[in-house]
Amino acid sequence: MELQNKEKPDATTFEDAIAATKFGKYNIMLIVVIALPCVTQLLNTVELSYIIPVAQCDLGLTLEDKGLINAIIFAGMISTGVYWGYLCDALGRKRIIVYGFLLSGFFATVAALCTNKFVLLAAKFMSGAIINGPFSATTSHITEFHSSEYRGRVNMARGMFLSFGSLLLPILSWAILPRKLDIFLFGILELHSWNIFLLVCALSTIFCGVVYIFIPESPKYLMSTGRNEQAMKVLQKIYSINTGNAMEDFPVKKLVEEVENNAEKVNVLVALKKCFREMKFLLHKPYINHLLLACFNVFSLLISVNTVKLWLPGIFQAISDYQNAHNGTSTNLCTMLEQMVPKETPTSANCTVDMNNLSVYVNTFIVAAARIVAFAFSTVFIRMLGIKRLNIILCFVTAVLQFCIYFARDSTTVTILSATGTAIGSVAENLLISLTLELFPTTLRTIALSIHLTSGRTGTLVGNIVFPYLLTSGCLPPFFWIGIFCVACGIFSFLYPSVEDKPLK
């Protein structure tokens, strides 16, 4: 008994152990590395919207095909979105990250090398189904290498990389897509600039997986699965690199045993059982009402914001085509958008792509930059107005801006309205996540957030599939559609409880 009491003070918790490693070169390296999955995730989800105007002749795309291609990766994400968090706990962060990125990169490479729209759709669906897992795992992975003092700042850095990744996409598109590239591989495959663009994006995904091979498993995960010896070696290495001292000088000599001897071993089956058990809890009051509110609001917001965001390259291309055909003059947006509705099914014989379209990439760059500015100012307004009130205001402002695109008479007005609307809508999207997290206790927060994100992707999927059908029926319906859903989100946001100064449950 005395021996047990003597050992207890020597055992160090994870928080104390990770704090003892200090903050230094190792942490900075991890923060630099997290930029890779952030950029990769963004490239994977938005890249197809950039290739559609360029690839429409090669793939024979109808307007409806364009909507489906925009939406397909979100369909893949929806198919697996709820389960990845639990599989992460069962299989480990590193394993999910490495194998997930490599496998997603494989399917992305298949999509890049294809010359058939159906193969492209199938490959991007599979890539989308897989990419969710490694991306969410990298978030857990990096936070578990930092003490509570630095976690918030690390997540801010991650958000910054996501924002700057959105600036990289139009630059990369401009560097590759307008080029006249016709490459024949093995006398079978004919690759164009859009294939090369997709291939670059796919290689970034594979590169992510390769880089994480050389990064150890999270010490927190190792401790939570009873592998304290391995966790200690990781912590000693971090300490040595950060301080320049020998690994043996690490002040922590023993870690707390986080796993009881009789604890159920976490595996895939146990993780999935836990997922379904928590889902069952969500189906009872008051959680079912909270869940329906959260899902409806994020569905309504993203059916508007993400539809506009993903169709903007095509809209800007239509405006550019009209102006090039009419000596640089503009007219109302509806007339210019007629360029998007083909009179017949496009083929290589009757279809041409205007590559003199620098304005398309400049405008999409401005739209991406506006989101960074919006997030920079959002913290000020959150302190002034609170999360709930600010979310309501932003939803209504987004609705007005999205609907006003209908009245635009030139590309400058479209750029200003769409940039401001999508930027404000993106801030509202993040506020909805904060509101959802406040609605549920810790034990249900993971599954609730997974369902919340899946509902948002469903909105993106539905919006992109429906938008082209509305566009063929007239110019007003699609813009009325995206505006009215933002209004609905604003109205239903009044039902959220106030979350200011409320402790987490």
In a domain, 87, yes or no: yes
Residue 261 has pLDDT above 60, yes or no: no
Domain boundary among the residues 274, 309, 332 is at: 274
216 and 311 share one domain = no
Confidence bin at 211 (pLDDT 50/70/90): very high
Domain boundary among the residues 219, 240, 274 is at: 274
Helix/strand/coil percentages in the chain, nearest 5: 80, 0, 20
Domain that holds residue 328: 283-505
Q: Are 257 and 7 in contact (CB under 8 A)?
A: no
Residue 127 has pLDDT above 90, yes or no: yes
Query: What's the confidence (pLDDT) of residue 243?
Result: 92
Q: Is the model more confident about 110 or about 499?
A: 110
449 and 358 share one domain = yes
In a domain, 257, yes or no: no
467 and 367 share one domain = yes
Of the candidates 433, 427, 421, 393, the residue with the CA atom closest to the CA atom of residue 297 = 433
Residue 486 has pLDDT above 90, yes or no: yes
- Work out the average pLDDT over 67-76: 91
**241-255, 327-341, 407-421: which has the minimum mean pLDDT?**
327-341
In a domain, 3, yes or no: no
Which residue is listed with tokens 């198919």? 79
Cα(444)–Cα(421) distance, rounded to whole angstroms? Answer: 32
Helices 476-492 and 287-325: crossing angle in degrees, nearest 10, is: 150
Helices 358-385 and 387-404: crossing angle in degrees, nearest 10, is: 150
Confidence bin at 504 (pLDDT 50/70/90): very low
- C-alpha atoms less than 13 angstroms from C-alpha of 438 in its C-beta half-sphere: 17
In a domain, 254, yes or no: no
In a domain, 287, yes or no: yes
67 and 207 share one domain = yes
- Work out the average pLDDT over 49-64: 88
Query: What's the confidence (pLDDT) of residue 349?
Result: 59
312 and 270 share one domain = no
In a domain, 5, yes or no: no
In a domain, 391, yes or no: yes
Of the candidates 111, 105, 109, the residue with the CA atom closest to the CA atom of residue 124 = 111
Tokens read off for 228 = 């304290």
**141-155, 382-396, 397-411, 456-470: which has the minimum mean pLDDT?**
141-155
Cα(13)–Cα(257) distance, rounded to whole angstroms? Answer: 9
Query: What's the confidence (pLDDT) of residue 4?
Result: 46
**195-204, 212-221, 256-265, 430-439: which has the minimum mean pLDDT?**
256-265
287 and 268 share one domain = no
Residue 428 has pLDDT above 50, yes or no: yes
398 and 474 share one domain = yes
463 and 426 share one domain = yes
Cα(48)–Cα(346) distance, rounded to whole angstroms? Answer: 18
Cβ count near 157 (within 10 Å): 18
Q: Is the model more confident about 260 or about 415?
A: 415
Q: What percent of the chain has pLDDT over 70?
A: 91
116 and 182 share one domain = yes
**59-68, 125-134, 290-299, 339-348: which has the minimum mean pLDDT?**
339-348
409 and 317 share one domain = yes
CATH number at residue 187: 1.20.1250.20
Pairing of strands 189-191, 11-12: unpaired
Residue 3 has pLDDT above 50, yes or no: no
Domain boundary among the residues 218, 240, 274 is at: 274
81 and 222 share one domain = yes
* Cross-strand partners of 11: 254
Confidence bin at 107 (pLDDT 50/70/90): very high
268 and 299 share one domain = no
Residue 6 has pLDDT above 50, yes or no: no
pLDDT of 282-302, one tens digit each? 788 888 898 899 999 999 999
Please count the structural domains in the chain: 2
The pTM of this model reads 0.85
- Work out the average pLDDT over 380-398: 89
- Between the alpha carbon of residue 489 and those of residues 238, 282, 419, 432, 465, the distances in Å are 46, 22, 20, 10, 20
Query: What's the confidence (pLDDT) of residue 224?
Result: 83
In a domain, 6, yes or no: no
